[in-house]
Chains A and B, each alone.
Chain A
């Protein structure tokens, strides 16, 4: 397991994705799967950076655990900010005409659809979001 701990700030998104990509690249993750995982990690990290500690700041930890059979990855993103379960949010209506579409909630919808498994727990004063994907 490898972990990156850093200030939860949108400006650090590139560092987080570089860390994820390095781990996935070394594990032989196909490029498309890697991009799907990047999309999801971006959503999750940007949400933590934007809301977990607002208006203050705090740290987030991103951990990557690779598995062999089946080949896949478990990624956890944790923070010590205010308790918040992003998965409890209602999915947006994606059948509305374009003028009525709102962008809020699409990130969570993509997280659920692009990952094999997504779970949230609040433990030891931490929000912990676990993402699993096989390839």
Chain B
């Protein structure tokens, strides 16, 4: 289960993710991102309520960065311990902007 709460204001988009970002739910986020990122310059992913992320979820985060490339930046905020560890063991902590 993943709930996606999306707020877009001018060129800034905030996606709050609530639940699990896994093989089953990652396609939902991918679809939302593909439909929403036109004209977005700042994308903020708020992971405060994200309990779980697998490599299927990482794939979508990488896609988001690529979709924004040269047009905008992405920032990840409020990741929990497990999500941070997944970022660290995969080297994503070096390529994502995490706050």
Closest partner residue, chain B, to A102 (CB atom): B62
Q: Is A113 an interface residue (CB 8 A)?
A: yes
Within 8 A of A (CB), among B16-62: 22-24, 51-56, 58-59, 62
Given contacts A103-B55, A103-B58, contact A114 B24 (CB under 8 A): no
Specify which chain A residues have a CB less than 8 angstroms from the CB of B90 in the assembled complex: 94, 106, 109-110
Hey, which chain B residues are within 8 Å of A109, CB to CB?
89-90
- With a cutoff of 8 Å between Cβ atoms, the chain A residues found around residue B86 in the complex are 39, 110
B89 contacts which of A38, A46, A103, A114 (Cβ < 8 Å)?
A: A114
Q: How far is the CB of A101 from chain B (nearest CB, A)?
A: 6
Cβ of A35 within 8 Å of any chain B Cβ, yes or no, is yes
Q: Tell me whether B69 and A99 are in contact (CB under 8 A).
A: yes
A94 to chain B, nearest CB (A): 3
User: A32 CA to B52 CA in the complex, in Å?
Assistant: 10
Which of B23, B24, B65, B82 contacts A35 (CB under 8 A)? B82
Are B54 and A39 closer than 8 Å at their CB atoms? yes
The CB with the most chain B CB atoms within 10 A, among A13, A97, A101, A106, is that of A106
Q: Does B62 contact A36, Cβ atoms closer than 8 Å?
A: no
Cross-interface CB contact of B52 among A39, A95, A103, cutoff 8 Å? A39
B82, A106: Cβ atoms under 8 Å?
Answer: no
Q: Is B62 in contact with A101, judged by CB distance below 8 angstroms?
A: yes
Q: A94 to B47: give the CA distance in the assembly, Å.
A: 22
> Does A106 contact B94, Cβ atoms closer than 8 Å?
no
CA–CA, A35 and B54, complex, Å = 10
Bound form: Cα–Cα A60–B69 in Å:
40
Is A42's beta carbon under 8 Å from chain B?
Answer: yes
- The answer on a CB contact under 8 Å between B62 and A35 is no
* Residues of A with C-beta under 8 A to B22: 13, 42
Q: Bound complex: CA of A32 vs CA of B91, how far in Å?
A: 19
**Shortest Cβ-Cβ A-B pairs, 4 listed:** A94-B91, A113-B89, A103-B59, A107-B55
